[in-house]
């Protein structure tokens, strides 16, 4: 398995593009993105668990009922959520795109991201579709990446190549996500493409299983978005024998998918609103996987821990505090904690009690851009990983005037 280039265009038969159509005031920012497969593809998706859901999710669920899709269109700048006529708007977008591409309306996935509660104007989208379709290219994933960004500061894409049935396959993904990230399904907006041949049922099984240990383990600010969606399209153009059940080929596909999703998780967490550091919490020695996950997410979600990491303060008591209120069945008297970065590692807690350590060395470690919080519960064989970021002054500034 090798890391490769191309984002959602890495796989055969996929093209993409992104434009500014007029939804966003800033004409320098793209606000409409398209991903297209030259042939119909197997499709799978997971969605937000928030009871308040964007209109595009309802339309996409309806369209993916048959497990097939051929195009994904996404606008940024407006979430098309809590709007009268929101579903009509989403369906109009799908219909217009289908006509322009010469495909079925039900083979279009539609997504939106941005401000909640404001009507989404359809005219800019409908007027922009011809330009969007005309600009499609196999080297234009970057334009689609820009088109789905909101408060993101960097584009996010990962792609890998792998072999199944003697055929080279590729899988690539793009994502947007910087704030309102605390999912319990998937996260943010993530679009993944592959030329591997795999049935819709197995693609859904792969995705649903993967998100439990990847996108479900990312938290920026404790807020679950209304528009979160992860969609995977598999067009089969790599030419491998179709994966229709579990086995060696399915395991290989799962590994490739996981490589892409973990990479996107890290990019999303590192680009949290106002963030200066990527935080990773690795929990080991748990009695059950559920306990390991609960502890890892609680530490990553702790505002006090996040603030301490921003200040490069080795305040390990905040880590134990987060474990203590997590609800997980742990023996506090067995917990060890270490802080790790490229500058080394330092043990700060042993068996639930503080250790004498160099504050200067700890600060040197915590001043780095990527920090790992290692927690050993010393109570079993299960482990888990969660990702997040530090909590900074800029997070409040960004969200204080997000709408206006």
- Tens of pLDDT, residues 246-267: 999 999 999 999 999 999 999 9
187 is catalytic: yes
Could you list the beta-strand ranges (E) of 278-393. 278-286, 336-341, 344-350, 353-354, 370-376, 382-389
Entry field: residues in the chain: 404
β-pair type (370-376, 336-341): antiparallel
Q: Residue 111 is encoded by which pair of tokens?
A: 């997504």
Domains and CATH numbers, the chain: 2-270 (3.60.70.12), 278-400 (3.10.20.340)
Query: How many percent of the chain have pLDDT more than 90?
Result: 79
φ/ψ of residue 188, rounded to 5: 50, -145
pLDDT exceeds 90 at position 342 = yes
| Choice among 187, 224, 259, 305 that is catalytic | 187
pLDDT bucket at 187, cuts 50 / 70 / 90: very low
Q: Residue 154 is encoded by which pair of tokens?
A: 């960097």
259: three-class secondary structure by DSSP:
helix
pLDDT exceeds 60 at position 181 = no
- Give yes or no for a contact between 330 and 379, defined as CB atoms under 8 angstroms apart: yes
Q: Residue 174's closest CA among 145, 152, 153?
A: 145
Q: Residue 228's closest CA among 278, 176, 192, 273?
A: 176
- Tens of pLDDT, residues 52-67: 678 899 999 999 999 9
């Amino acid at each position: 398995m090798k890391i490769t280039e191309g984002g959602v265009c890495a796989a055969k038969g996929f093209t993409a593009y992104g434009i500014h159509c007029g939804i966003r005031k800033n004409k320098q920012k793209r606000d409409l993105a398209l991903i297209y497969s030259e042939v119909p593809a197997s499709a799978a998706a997971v969605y937000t668990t928030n009871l308040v859901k964007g209109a595009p999710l309802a339309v996409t669920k309806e369209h993916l009922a048959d497990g097939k899709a051929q195009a994904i269109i996404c606008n940024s700048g407006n979430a098309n959520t809590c709007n009268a006529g929101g579903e009509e708007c989403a369906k109009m977008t799908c219909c217009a795109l289908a006509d322009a591409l010469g495909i079925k309306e039900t083979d279009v996935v539609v997504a939106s991201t941005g401000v909640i509660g404001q009507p989404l104007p359809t005219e800019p989208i409908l007027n922009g579709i011809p330009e969007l379709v005309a600009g499609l290219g196999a080297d234009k994933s970057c334009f689609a990446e820009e088109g789905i960004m909101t408060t993101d500061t960097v584009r996010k894409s990962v792609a890998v190549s792998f072999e199944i049935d003697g055929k080279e396959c590729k899988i690539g993904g793009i994502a947007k996500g910087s704030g309102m990230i605390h999912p319990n399904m998937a996260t943010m907006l993530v679009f993944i493409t592959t030329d591997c041949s795999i049935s819709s049922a197995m693609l859904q099984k792969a995705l649903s299983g993967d998100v439990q240990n990847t996108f479900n383990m990312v938290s920026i600010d404790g807020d679950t978005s209304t528009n979160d969606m992860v969609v995977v399209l598999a067009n089969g153009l790599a030419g491998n024998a179709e994966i229709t059940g579990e086995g060696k080929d399915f395991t290989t596909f799962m590994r490739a998918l996981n490589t892409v999703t973990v990479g996107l998780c890290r990019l999303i967490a590192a680009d949290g609103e106002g963030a200066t550091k990527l935080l990773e919490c690795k929990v080991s020695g748990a009695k059950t996987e559920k306990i390991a996950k609960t502890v890892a997410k609680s530490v990553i979600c702790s505002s006090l821990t996040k603030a301490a990491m921003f200040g490069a303060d080795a305040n390990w008591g905040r880590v134990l505090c987060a474990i203590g209120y997590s609800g997980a069945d742990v023996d506090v008297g067995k917990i060890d904690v270490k802080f790790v970065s490229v500058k080394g590692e330092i043990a700060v807690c042993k068996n639930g009690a503080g250790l004498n350590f160099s504050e200067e060395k700890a600060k040197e470690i915590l001043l780095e851009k990527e920090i790992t919080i290692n927690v050993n519960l010393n109570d079993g064989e299960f482990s888990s990983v969660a990702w997040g970021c530090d909590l900074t002054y800029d997070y409040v500034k960004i969200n204080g005037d997000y709408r206006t």
